Each structure stands twice: as C-alpha cells, then as structure tokens.
Structure 1
C-alpha cells in the first residue's frame, strides 16, 4: 500500500509513528506545515520525515501540493489534523480514496473543535472516528470507530490523551485491513448529523453569572494543549488553566453578586458564580485580584 500522509498536529504525529512502527505500509511522502499560527497543538512532521528519509513537503499552496502528490502516485492518502478542506481535484488523486479523522462519534458532532465542545457542553461520551473524506465535511463512510467515555473530571489534556491512544490502535488496525483488502465501510446516517461551529474568542470568556459547573467545564475544555479560558481583569484578558468547586459554604454568600472575589490566598482566589463559589487554582494572572474586587 503506497501512502501519502498529510497532517500537522499532535494526533498527526502520533498516528504516523504508529503506522510506521506497526504496519507494512509504504509511506511515499508526507505533507506538513513547518510553522502554523492556526493550530495550538501544532506538530511539524518534518523531523520524522527527515529521520526516516521520507520525502516531505512544507505546505504553501494547494496547487503545488496537488502536483507533488500526483508525482508520488499514492494508492491512498491519510489526512489527519489538517485545517484545510480538500477539494475534488485532491480527492480524486488516489484510487483508494482519502481517509480522514474526527475525534467525535460521527455522524453526531461534525465540524469544529470537537474535544473542546464535548467538554464545554458536559457530554458523557464522544468518539474516535476514521472515515472516507468527501466534499462535505465529516460526512463520508465510516471505516473505524470507537466510543470514548468522558469522566466527570476530564479535561482537554486527559481526553486528548485517551483519544490519541484509541486512535493509534485504530489506525494500525485499519491500515492492516487496507493492506489485506479486508476494509469495510459503513455509510453515515445523515439525519442524525449536527455541525459544531467554529469557536470564537468570546466563547472562551468566563461570564461569572454562569453556574459553577459550567465555568469549570469551560476551563477544562480550553486548558492545555489549547489556548485556555480567560476572564477580564482591569481591562485585560487573563488566562485560567484550572479551577475547582470551593469548599466554602455557598449558602453564606447568596447575597453576593457574581464576579465578586470572596477570598485570595497566595496564588489562588475564590470568585462568586451564578450559583456558588469557584476556586481559580492555575492561571497566568500577573496580579492577583483582591478580596472584594469584581471581575
């Protein structure tokens, strides 16, 4: 199986290494981005390609990528962790098609930022799905899928790690099935599909009128490897990485307004929320707010 591989994020790197180590696929070329200002979890595949003496292309534009891929005459293309939708003139190159990846339980939750939205919305489960790419985003036939349970204290890093571990096993299994001509595809039920929109900066801003649970979910959803949730203090955005429910009795503060700082101790501080109290534990605030101040 002659494979061209496209990707530029952490999952791209992990899956590529698993394919190289665990299968007999011939990796004929790698397309990546040496630099990316778009992906917070960006990983260039340049070093891997150089070490393994595999031809690679630093993506600059679609036309040059198309010509470069055509020269390698791949049987199949894997495209994992790529911010560009592939046009029909790319989709038509390999005779076996192009395989994509989406960390959600397709057909549900197509679209953008699936790990972030799953955590921010408090979902109990998500998925790890490999599928054929088509002109419509995340809509192709499913090749391999697993359910991923989301624990009550899950954050972006821990969920990302669980999904990566499952994905490594899946991509090896799927690649071996392609090599042995045993692959099977299952059409998606498009009536069950929904699309998550692109996240904006405003989606990451904490509104202290939210419930304590919703605030903690948002912080967990946006923690590393992502950009972090933020709150405004003295006119500036300040990043928050970790928070937990306060052990103080919220009944003693029912007449306090949301956003008021209740306590501050060393590097942590406690804030009144819409229905309780939240302790901000890890953050990048250059100045700690004082007790009695409002955020």
Structure 2
C-alpha cells in the first residue's frame, strides 16, 4: 500500500492493482498534473482506505478481489476497471488463454465496476488480433500493451467527464474460473483429439517459465510446451540445406 501527498484542485484517485499493466498505468497516472493518486491498494483488507480518502474515482487494474458495493458507491464519479478481455467474453481468470482455445474475440475493456467480476457498463474497448502461432504468453503481453494504450487513449474523456457507457450483452458472454484453468492443464494420454484442438490447447498453456500443460506416463510427470512458426522466405532457404542420408 502506498500513499501520495494531497494536492488541492486535482482529481483524487484510489488505485487498486498489483500486476505489470496495473503498475504501468499507476505510474502513468502519478505523472499527470491533473491527478492525485492518493493510495495504491493491493489487498481487500485495505479497502477501508477508500472511505477515508473519499476519492473522485476508483481505478482498478489487476486487482484480484471482488470489491463490495458499499466501496464501489464511495467515489463521487465512478469506480472503473480495466480487464484484459473483450467483454462480455472471457470474464474471470486467464483471459489470455480462452481466445486461443475457444476462438472468442481477444481484447481489452475499460468498464464501470459491477457487483460481480468484470460486469458493469463498458466505457471503451479494443480488440486484439490473434494468430495460430500465438502462445498464451505472447497473447498475454499483447493484451498488457493494449490495456495501457486503451487507458491512455480514453483518459482525456474520463478527465473531461465525457464518458459514454454501453451495456454488456450477457447472452454472448463467457466466464472462466481458476478451476477451469487447472483442469485444462491436465492432459489425458488416452484421449482421442483433433490435432488442431490439441495444438490450440498446448499453445494457450505455453507460458515459460511456468509449467502448465502436463501428462503422467508410467508414474512420471511430463510438462509440455509448444512452438508454432509461420512459414516465411527463410524456411525456403533452409530447405536447400537439407542433408539426405541413406
């Protein structure tokens, strides 16, 4: 938890966050002349600080806890969250994984915080392209970059109060839990599966240095990562150097 010195005639913000994108946006906000980031909170037992500060905005990026309604109602303007998915798709955990497996849109969304995870009206969002060569780690980094871009691009409208909200269409949405991710990591050696479906699963779970996908063979556990390359001109050059053996 961190505190900033109060400056008069500035927008008061309490920031909730802990991940890399959150820290980048927190530091960016601290450099704005029009802003006082009064506190950086990373744990739910610190949320009473919001009542003490009575800010104009709560800004959440990477805060991994549900914020209760009595806290969300404190800011005079709004409590907003930046989520690395194209809402209403992929609410909840591991939003960098599911677009590669389920084919749902990947992206980032700035939205008003609701009483459930990743609900609330949308302020702005940006879709992020994916490729069959993407891994979970590659898409994670692309989503982090897009979060910073979306927030800084939208900030002038937030500052001026010119925010246009649109509701989420729950009928088209999806939600995933930590349990969904854990179950995804365990591979069944006897399962018959389409090759592309398996590759989608493996590349989504590839996030070095973490060991995610695994299977157990003869009492031993093996971890699986995958690398997929798109063909380019250099591949034609490499083919000229093939060595034949008889």
Question: Same fold, TM exceeding 0.5?
Answer: yes
Higher percent of residues as helix: 2
In the other structure, the counterpart of 1:182 is 162
2:25 to 12, 15, 18: 15
Whether the 8 Å CA contact 2:111–2:121 is kept in 1: the answer is yes
Q: How does 1:211-290 map to 2 (within 5 A)?
A: 211-224=194-207, 227-243=211-227
- The answer for unaligned runs of 5 or more in structure 2 is 1-10, 230-246
**Kept after mapping to 2: 8 A contact 1:124/1:151:** no
| 1:223–1:75 CA distance, 2 compared to 1 (3 A) | same
How many positions carry a matched residue from both structures?
215
Q: Distance in 1 between matches of 2:28 and 2:199?
A: 34
Greater share of strand: 1
Structure 1, residues 27-78: CA drift from partner, whole Å, max 9, x if none? 111012xxxxxxxxxxxxxxxxxxxxxxxxxx3x53xx23222222211111
Partner of 1:76: 57
> CA RMSD of the aligned region, Å?
2.3
| TM score, norm. by length of structure 2 | 0.78
User: Per-residue deviation at 1:124?
Assistant: 6.4
Distance in 2 separating the partners of 1:111 and 1:67: 24
Cα shift at 1:13: 1.9
Using the alignment, how far apart are the partners of 1:223 and 1:22 within structure 2? Answer: 37
For the 8 Å contact 1:75–1:94, the answer to whether it is kept is yes
Q: 1:132 to 1:227 in 2, by over 3 A?
A: farther
When residues 81 and 236 of structure 1 are mapped into structure 2, their CA distance, relative to the original with a 3 A threshold, is farther
Matches within 5 A, 1:96-111: 96-111=77-92
* Superposed displacement of residue 101, structure 1: 2.1
* Alignment-derived partner of residue 14 in structure 2: 4
Which residue of 1 is the match for residue 36 of structure 2? 26
Unaligned 5+ runs, structure 1 = 33-58, 246-295
Q: How many Å apart are 1:219 and its aligned residue?
A: 2.0
- Return the alpha-carbon distance in structure 1 between the equivalents of residues 228 and 175 of structure 2: 30
The residue number in structure 2 matching 1:160 is 140
Contact 2:89–2:105 under 8 Å retained in 1:
no
Shift of 1:184: 1.7
Q: Write the deviation string for residues 87-121 of structure 1: whole angstroms up to 9, x where unpaired.
A: 11211121112111222221233233221122222
